[in-house]
Structure 1
Amino acid sequence: MVVLSEVVLSEVEHVEMVLSEVVLSEVVLSEVVLPEVVLSEVDMSGVVLPEVVLSEVVLPEVVLSEVDMSGVVLPEVVLSEVDMSGVVLYVVDMSGVVVSEVEAVVVVS
């Protein structure tokens, strides 16, 4: 189980991240703040995220460039009070993405 509580990542740049065949079980992101985060050329092919909970997540000025999410499985995803204002997604490949049992509550975009 991965628990990220009250995490602050300011002005972080991740380039050429490879998350191939990664399994994250019972991930909890609570009160996470990601201002000015840049994710470039992210490969999330084959990533499995079961039972993901995003609670009170703030993503201002987030840029995802050239993101490959082919084969990503997101079962039982809960998005609660998510603020994605200022988020930019371009050149995103989500072919083969499976999202089942999604609950979105108070999502601001």
Structure 2
Amino acid sequence: MEFGRGRDAVTMQGSEHNDAWGPEGTPLGEDADGALGGMSTGAPLRIRVHFKPPSSIALPQTTLHVPSGEMRELQIGGRHDPVLAPRAAPVVEAVCRLVIADLLQMREEI
């Protein structure tokens, strides 16, 4: 899960990613991604979520056969990974709530 620019921020200079507070207590730009110094700017948070592809696929794959110590080809029939789509939204929402609650707790607001 990435908040704001996430991993894209690693290629930016500090001057590109930083945002200054304006005289009215609001950021002057949109570079801070909704938070400055751990405090909300009041702007919407931008969140990007990534999911790994399922590992049980129907294509042959090379894997270690532990009893023999040999590398062998394995082909799995059927799908054994749970379908993530119905679970994705509530899981992402729960993680976001935990992160926000943690930030509030660090500021001793809850």
Scaled by the length of structure 1, the TM-score of the pair is: 0.20
**Between structures 1 and 2, the one with greater strand share:** 1
Greater Rg by CA: 2
**Between structures 1 and 2, the one with greater helix share:** 2
Scaled by the length of structure 2, the TM-score of the pair is: 0.19
